[in-house]
Structure 1
Amino acid sequence: MLWLRFDDGLEGSVFLGNLLEIGAFQLWRDVREFEKVSVDPETATVTWEGGIRLDPDVLYHDVAARSGR
């Protein structure tokens, strides 16, 4: 789970466990690796070491759908 807060005040969690079996995402099995998450200040992209990047628009729509927006 990853908790996100967006500039417009929308906040909530996204489930990423379904990615754990795919290539580079297998690193996340180690919680310490998953906790190395950061946000690129220029692109607002959620990133991890090793080049993993999650599209903020996709994440926003996921959180919005879960919150009923």
Structure 2
Amino acid sequence: MQKLKEIRSLGKYRLWLKYEDGNSGEVNLSEFAGKGVFQAWEQPGIFDQVYIDPESGAIAWNDQLDMCPDSVYFKLRGINPEDHFRQKNVA
């Protein structure tokens, strides 16, 4: 998968991201807000603390809250992960 190179919060559960293949853009993560570990985003300022974890490359907000950059890449590109991996297995 593609390595995440840049990230910044746009507020209201939106991120701007840039990947090593040049794909970049805005992703809305509001579907996760208030659910499970993402309840932490409800605390003022937490969502805006987003960064790329230097060890794992994950999208992180603290050492206990992160998200897979691959899943966000698929969301950014409008790719269904199941279709993507099904095609990879056929090839």
User: 4+ residue runs of structure 1 moved beyond 2 angstroms?
Assistant: none
Q: Tell me, what secondary structure is at the counterpart of 2:46? A: helix
Q: CA deviation at 1:50?
A: 5.2
Q: Retained in 1: the 8 A contact 2:25–2:76?
A: yes
RMSD: 1.8
Which residue of the partner structure matches residue 27 of structure 1? 40
Report 1:10-21 matches (<5 A): 10-21=23-34
Q: TM-score under structure 2 normalisation?
A: 0.63
Q: CA deviation at 1:21?
A: 2.1
Which residue of the partner structure matches residue 4 of structure 1? 17
Letter in 1 for 2:55: E
Task: Tell me which of 76, 81, 85 is aligned to 1:63.
Answer: 76
Indicate yes or no: 2:46 matched with 1:47.
no
| Count of matched residue positions in the alignment of Structure 1 and Structure 2 | 66
- Structure 1: runs of 5+ lacking an equivalent: none
- Larger strand proportion of the pair: 2
Letter in 2 for 1:19: F
CA distance in 2, matches of 1:20, 1:43: 23
Q: TM-score under structure 1 normalisation?
A: 0.79
Q: Retained in 1: the 8 A contact 2:34–2:41?
A: no
- Structure 2: runs of 5+ lacking an equivalent: 1-13, 80-91
